[in-house]
Amino acid sequence: MLPLADTLELIICALLILLSVVGNVCLFFSTRRCIRGPLKPSFLLIFSLALVHLLKNLVVNIMKIVFSSGGLLDSVSCKILRFTETLTTELSVWFVLHFAVLHHRELYQIVYPSSETPNLSHQKGHLKAVPILWITGLGVCIPILVCTEKLPPVRTANSTGLLYAQSLNLACKIDFGNQQVEYYYEKIFLVLVDLLPLTVLIFLCCWIAFLLWEQKKQTYGNIWIGEDAAETEIFRGAKVSILLTLLITSLWISHFVLIGFLKDLESCSFTPALLTALSSGFSTVSPYVLMLVHYKVRLEAFCCRKREGSVIQTTNVLSCPYA
């Protein structure tokens, strides 16, 4: 019989995989059906986030299920596990930051309109930024793919569900051959490439909240003259950015704090499952946040088709996401 810790982690991993696959596949196809004309940065970001989330759950959590059920990971599996886990975490933070930057810029232009002619080249810049983030993330994580090694099993006859750190982090360990280099890369550099974007993201979302408040004041002050469908989408995208920021920041900080106190929680059987839930929670919940918040929990929003030749316009017409 499997130890309680492994059983709990196996159940959590299976549940996360199921919810993530359903949510991200629905998000991908519902967004793809709404594309009209050239691909926009917001659409590309949604597709990238969905892909990152699927990789997180279909690669990392499936390997955790294999390990929790008593299977052994070879050296190649260890490399893939650590590489994918780190890459998907970094890219999730970076893509959410990019998503917030995009909607902050558009929201700022609405709240504080400029008399100058709008420069449309920034759209191309945001499109180019997405593959650049992919390439940068791969470059940052290459040392993990090269230096991760499989260590001998640490489980013993007296081990009743060893912890996440003792099972995976020690079974698949980064080894640079130099303890100082390993410390600076794994404990400092990899933390900073997540922490700095998260800090900027929090500041940016506070700014977005201020801009939304300014827009609301203008509306109630009878200065604002309505809003068109494009502006409505920008306001929704800005609000989604705030929700995604709160979600990813709270999960990342909770995971980091729990890792810091891991030695004090060695006797808790729920620790591996909790760490898995925190590390994969964003990839599971965020697609539902994107769909439910934007589409106002309305089933019709999954079909953003516009009837050709229709000239009827009402205030209840649903437009495509993040147009």
Domain ranges of the chain: 8-113+120-153+164-298
Whether the pLDDT of residue 320 is over 60: the answer is no
Bridge partners of residue 173, in order along the sequence: 149
Whether the pLDDT of residue 172 is over 90: the answer is no
Going by pLDDT thresholds of 50, 70 and 90, the confidence category of residue 297 is very low
The residue behind tokens 């019709």 is 300
What are the Cα distances from residue 136, in Å, to 42, 91, 211, 312? 19, 9, 31, 46
pLDDT single digits (tens) 14-49: 999 999 999 999 888 888 777 776 778 888 898 999
Dig out the tokens for 284 from the structure: 């599971």
C-alpha R_g of the chain: 22
Whether the pLDDT of residue 316 is over 60: the answer is no
Residue 166: count other Cβ atoms within 10 Å of its Cβ.
17
With 0.85 as the threshold, say if the pTM is over it.
no
Q: What confidence score (pLDDT) does residue 317 get? A: 33
Which CATH superfamily is 8-113+120-153+164-298 part of? Rhodopsin 7-helix transmembrane proteins (1.20.1070.10)
**Helix, strand or coil for residue 152?**
coil
141 vs 16: CA distance, rounded Å: 24
Q: What confidence score (pLDDT) does residue 15 get? A: 94
Average pLDDT, the chain: 77
State how far Cα 123 lies from the chain centre.
22
By percentage, how much of the chain surpasses pLDDT 90?
31
pLDDT single digits (tens) 226-257: 556 677 778 888 888 999 999 999 999 998 88
Q: What confidence score (pLDDT) does residue 187 get? A: 85
Dig out the tokens for 57 from the structure: 């759950």
Please name which of 51, 62, 3 lies closest in space to residue 25, comparing C-alpha atoms. Answer: 51
Compare 291 and 211 and report the one with higher pLDDT. Answer: 211
